[in-house]
Every structure is written in structure tokens, then in C-alpha cells.
Amino acid sequence: MTRRASTLIGFTAILSWALLALFTAASGVVPPFQLTAMAFAIGGMAGAASWFLRGSDRSVFRQPVAVWLLGVTSLFGYHFLYFTALRSAPAAEASLIAYLWPLLIVVFSGFLPGETLRTHHVLGALIGFLGAALIITNGGSLQIKTDYVPGYLAAIVCALIWSAYSVLSRRFGSVPTDIVTGFCLATAILSALCHLALEETVWPADLLQWLAVLGLGLGPVGLAFFAWDHGVKHGDIQVLGASSYAAPLLSTLVLVVAGFQQANWIIATACALITAGAVLAAKDLLFKRKSH
């Protein structure tokens, strides 16, 4: 499979994450750790079913401890710290800080063998970040207060974890993507334990809410991680990093189409910035330079 095709597969994860807000809103008032446990369990079981039907070799799960530590601590650690940040700081500020991970992916990728970090990669990611900032803050100002420092720190570590996971996965490029099945199931178990310790159980109230939970597990909080794993291992990781800022924009557009939010100039401006940033970062992939 070509580098471009692998990049496109990775981009399907970004498209899937665009449905995160819609499915989460439609799932009712299920507590976050319980919802995470349920969604990752669905994603893990779907991966296991695929693995079984394809008759894959069991040795795929016999990987070094470092592989399991990287995958499980990253998937679970990201969500644990993200929820912690949202509980300890205003949602806009915490989300914006956590969403530094696409920019960090672009920067950290410069340390990977065979990758060259160029000015247009960084500029594209920065422009995309500005667009994401407009969406997340709704064009308003940020209220940075010392009372929220624990939440800010959790969001920073959250961004570092996901960017490090995405970049370091390239070091384990030979590990089959089927391993994500194990990551998802382990994350589901750890999230369930956090739910039992920290939350009160609330089940979906009707069929629509159950379908929303199923949608989460089959998409943004489940199978999307399989596509992301393949993309960052074999695709253009710098383009994927910069393009990831499309997720909050697409998520907002989905809410507009679904009638949960109205379109406005903020969305239009963010759309222009994120698109421009992604095209700039991907110019080498989109417009191959002619050899002299």
C-alpha cells in the first residue's frame, strides 16, 4: 500500500472523530468513564470479531511489553486526563490546550528517521490551530485563572500523551494494526474500574441512546483508532497531524446539519483557516515537485 493510501486511511479516523460530539450528545447522560468503557468494549469486540473471521495468527498479540505499555497507557491515559481536565478547568480552555496534540505531532515527527520537518508543515499546523481555537472558544476570549492550573496541566499532559503515542507508533511500524484490539479492550476494563470508583451508573434511556453508544464504539471511540494506527505507521504523519484540526470543524458542521447548532461567521472563518493549513502542510503530497 502506498504512503498516500495509508495517509487517506488515517484521515478516515479524523472523519470519524467528527461524529464524536453528535454521538456523545445523543447518548444522553451516561457518565464519561462509563461511556468510554462501553464504547471501547464495542470497538474492541468488533476488532476481535474481524480478527477471528479473517483467521489471523494469534502471535499478533505476542508483542514486547513496550508495545502494550505505549498503546494501553496512551488510549486510557489520554481519556482519563481529558476528563480530569474538563472537571478541573473550563471546557473551552481545557479542550484548546488538549488540542495542541496535532501541532505537537508535526513538531515531534521531525525526530523520526526518514522524516524532514519543513517550514510549511509547522505553518500549516499553526494555521489549523488558529481555526480550531475559533471553533472551540466560539470566537470568545479565554479566561486563564490560577485556580484552574491542575486542569490546564492535565490537558497539557493529555496533548503530550497522544502526540507521543502517534509519533512513537511509527517506531513499531512492523506491529500489525490488529494489536489495537487489545488496546481497546484493556482501555475498556480500566475505564470501567474508574467508573465504578468515581461515578454512578446511568444506562442509556432508550433505543436512540443505545444506538448512539453503538455508533461511538463502531466509529470515533473505537474503530477510528485502527485507522489512525495504520495511518501514523505507514502514511504521512505530518499531513495527518496538521489535518487533525479538521476534526473539531467537521464535528461542528455535523452539529449544524443535525440542527444542534447554527452556522455563523466563526465556523466559516475556521473552515477557511483549517483548510488552508491542511493544504499548506500537505502541499508536497498533493503537488509533487517536478524533478529537474
pLDDT tens figures, 144-183: 677 788 888 888 899 899 999 999 998 898 899 999 999 9
Q: What are phi and psi of 179, to 5 degrees?
A: -60, -25
Cα–Cα distance measured from residue 120 to residue 282, given in angstroms and rounded to the nearest whole number:
9
**pLDDT, mean over the chain:** 84
CA dist., res. 134 & res. 273, Å (int): 10
Helix axes 265-281, 119-137, angle to 10 degrees: 160
For residue 290, the model assigns a pLDDT of 42
φ and ψ at 246, to 5 degrees? -70, -20
C-beta separation of 180 from 71 below 8 A? yes
CA-CA distance, 281 to 258, in Å (whole number)? 30
Reported residue count of the chain is: 292
- The predicted model scores a pTM of 0.84
pLDDT in tens, 204-228: 999 999 999 999 999 998 889 999 9
* Residue 101 vs residues 74, 161, 243: alpha-carbon distances, Å: 13, 8, 12
Q: How much is the CA Rg of the chain, to the nearest whole Å? A: 19
Q: Can you give the pLDDT at residue 202?
A: 95
Residue 290 neighbours by CB distance under 10 Å: 5
Instruction: For the chain, give every domain's residue range.
Output: 3-286
